[in-house]
Structure 1
Amino acid sequence: MTSTHKFLLLLLRIATMIISITSAAPLKEQRFAMEPQDQTAVVGSRVTLPCRVIDKSGILQWTKDDFGLGTHRNLSGFDRYSMIGSDEEGDYSLEIYPVMLEDDAKYQCQVSPGPRGQPGIRSHFASITVLVPPEPPKIIQGDYLVTTEDREIELECISHGGKPAAEITWIDGMGNVLTDNIEYIVEELSDGRRFTAKSILKLTPRKDHHNTSFTCQAQNTAERTHRSAKLKLEVKYAPKVTVSILSGASPNGRIPEGVDVRLGCKADANPADVTYRWFVNDEQIIGDYTTEMVMHNITRKYHDSIVKCEVHNAVGKSEESETLDVSYGPQFKIRPRTTQADIGSSVTLSCDVDGNPPPDVAWYHKDHRKKISTSPNLTLVVDDSSAGKYFCTALVPGFPEIGAEASIYLKGPPSIISHKTQFGIEGDNVRVECTAFSIPAPERVIWTFNGHEVDLQDQDYSILEDPLPEGIKSTLIIRESQERHFGMYNCSVTNPYGSDVVEISLMPQKSFPLLIIIIGGILLVVIVIVIIMIVFLCQRQTTKNLQEKVSTNNTKFAAK
């Protein structure tokens, strides 16, 4: 064997040994140390999708929507794309700059199988969502609009080309963000990626909106600041009216009865050319009244009256009113009413008084000394002590006090209070009276004579009944009375609670002229006797005085 053959044999053995050693070494599988994740980017910005591989043995490339971008780091043909990092670090991250809308896609980092059969690997898909700021918004109606109050209008704001669609916000002239009566519409553009947003505000203009601006703001997540458009409103509106009392009222707003009242009317309107009309309780006041109106000698009938000022312009009319508060003294609407009640029942006495300001009401029992209530309605449980008369007073400061009386009668059987002996003149019409206290009123009154009920069919008799507040007065009338009509009469009174009866003796008496003569004769005799006695006594006293004087003189003469 030659030396050459020996050398070749040696090389073959060494190669066999190397292959044997190599084939015996374990294979290292390639794997990802870092995979790309979903990202969001704004047009014009820079974005990096990370991809790091450990024990890479195959060929690495990036795909965009499953289309391979190339295996070289410079990614020729894709000027804005490149793989950054180094092979030593296993960093093959994909960088895109500047980002454009077309970069909105899903990406994947892939490594092919290795030369020793190492399996290929693929990362998770990572999506790049590209955001596009919207164009500045525009209000279709322009930047100035003339409208009329209370007539609904639509303001439309459009923002083109945003991704995502722009969010549109309306702000009124007072800085308030509007949320009601807004319709939001999104339309996709032809590129399938961007959108046009529309916001339609349905607005009913008011006076407050006059000369104010409505702002439409648009923005999306692609930019932090919003863009805006403004529209100024000129609102034509009917008059806004205020009415007030200029003179005649006191500081508390009340109008004393009898004064003159002057009222004023102010109107704010656009257009400002206005006309005025005045009304009291919807009845128009005749006169050349514009911004002021006078009511002379106001009376209580105008209390709570509504004075209205109506103002017109080209847009329409508006009105405002003032309610008159007229002060006046107390006056009974319904006076307290006497009532009847059973013992133990509840009774309410009402003192219904009108006055302005509302009257101060007070109730008093019997002697009117002790005040028992200040309520217009007095409720009592009826017994012997609470029955009787009550007095209600009402006072309005500055006016005379008024009062009224009412009684609570305790129901019970009747009680006759007539005289048991009554007189009549024979030949005259005679009246026999039977007066009974009866609560409730009697159901009937029966007269009897000598044990028999008086026959009212008899032309000699008639009965007259007079209702009394607390009972009844029944009068039996005997026409052209005769001796046979005199005697014992019974009066019987009945109500639902019982009855009472009284025996009345009707006695005859002399005629009135004869009685006058007799009494006159007796008086004349008495007067004559008195005069005679006085004369007699005077004469006697005179005689005695003369005798005493003569005796005195005789005594003096004897002494001399």
Structure 2
Amino acid sequence: MIRIILLAFTLGSVGSSQYFITEPEDVTANIGDEVILKCVVGDREGILQWTRNGFGLGTDPELPGYPRYSLTSDLSLKISPVSDQDVGEFQCQIGAGDTSRPLRSKPAKISVQLPPGVPVILGGETGVISVNEDSIEILECESAGGKPAARIDWRDESGKPFKLDMVDTRTMKEDKNQTFKTISSVRYKVERAMHNKTVICSAINIASTESKNTKVRLNVMYKPKVSLGINSGAGLIREGDNVILHCEADSNPAPYSYSWRKNGAILPGELTPYLVVEKIDNSFHSARIDCEARNSLGSDTAGKSLTLQYAPIMVLQPRSVTGKEGDEVTLSCGATSNPPARYIWFKDSNPQPIEFSDKIKILVSEYSVGTYRCEAVVEGFQNAESKPAVVSILEKPRIGTVETQFGYIGEDLEIICPVVSKTQSLNITWYYRGRVLQEGGKYLMGRKSEDEKIESILRIRKPTELDFGEYGCRADNDIGADYTSIQVQIRSNFNILEYLPFIGSGVAGVFLVLIILLVVYCCRRKKPENHLISMNSEKPIIRASRDLSNKNLDLEDGYRPNIIDIYGNEPSQDRRLQNVHPEFAGYYGNPHLNSRRDEDRLSSRSSSQSTLPPALESWSRPPPNGGRRSLSPNASEGVDISANSTLSSVLSGGSRSSRYSI
């Protein structure tokens, strides 16, 4: 009651003085919001003005210069939209009136909340960050300008939180406008599955209507991961197929080299992701094929064993066997193939199979002996046939004929005993002077075998004179035995009998050569008929011009032709031509071997009026009537064959010798 009385007294004493009904309050707003600072004055007499941070906004109700500011009907300050420039203290002031003193409201603070800036991932300015597989990496994202400080989150492109090992977030205040910068660091282990994945950093605070994001793509670098592929359809490979193997490598960066191995051995020249095998053969069956791809971070290898279907190949041949009558023997054969082969046995030339197994048991008898063979069968491939094997009845061994054998004293000596046996199971015993020789010391024993032929060899080291003489060789088996004596003699340094065959062969060869030379010599000395032979000027010319129709001329009947050389001289009577047929002429450097008839001599003299000798003159002018010249083996000799048609016809037969030009 007392307070009411005092208030009434006061109001009565002051009169109607102006006063604040509502004063502005502190406001927190977001950028873009609308803010109204209330200032309601009762009994206002003075002029109203708003101040910001102590500076007046002016008394003009339109508030020129402040387009976002306006006064409401009750003179409250309306700010729309709010920006970060509006941060500060605002005050409502009323000027003094006639009866009122000036008024100032309490200051009201406007706090503006700012959304964070667009975050930035350090190192990801290009949008890509390259990292290595299995390494520990750190991503750092920062967002500035937020008020209050932003919250930063990490996620992948699907919106799921990014797989992180550790997150570290720190905030710092910026002095300029009292905003905040938020930095978030994450540590993670790089996995191959992260390659080409997008990492998103988002920043948000209470001033944000939505988060602000930035993103980078992870380029994970990793070594090759290799797998091996085959273009064989369902995986079935047949012998003779063309096969391509593909080395599929997942790596970043791509491999820069490839290599191929077969059973651990490198295949030279194969440097591409593809291995092409043309007409694949059975050597690849069960073979391990490996491919290696390499890049800058390392290498990886993948491989597999190939399964190949291929024709049978006989690897176990049946062997001939000999047994006693009534014995049971077994023949076996085997082939490698895929799939496994079936086996068929045949006997002799009979096309009917007798067994369907890889083994056949035979009871030795006169009816079962013969030749057996087996075939390996794989469907779709050619059969493989074994070599023939002979089943025979055991007989006693036979020792072949042995000639006397020779050796030198002091030089190792080998004595050979040839044995024929259908089986290798036999005993061979050596004897010397009635005693059995045992292997050891100076005696070495061995044998060589080829089919049914066996050579037993007794080797004597550095024999003395006492080691030469008669040796015995005995071969025996379950059926019987055979024995022979072998004479071993000392070989002299030179034995004419040993070399006699060679000497005889040499002498026969020499005689054969002499006979051939004699025949050739006689043939070359044979003189042709009706030939006219001219020699050079230094040798006599022999002409035979007697009647050629007389074929029975003989110097023995008393005919003696005149012999004249080319110079017209007659030789003495004791040098007359003997035993030469008048139709033939020959030149051997003897002037007496010139036979001619008288009329031919006269014709020759009349035609030799030239200053040149006849032999030279014939080369100084062309032959008459277009005749031909024939050159002798000596370049200076020739024959004129145009004058005698009979001679010309003889010459046309082409007979010639190494000493004549005919």
Normalised-by-shorter TM-score class: 0.3 to 0.5
Q: Which has the larger radius of gyration?
A: 2
Higher relative contact order (CA 8 A, sep 6+): 1
TM-score of the pair, normalised by structure 1: 0.36
TM-score, structure 2 as length reference = 0.31
Q: By percentage of residues, which structure has more strand?
A: 1
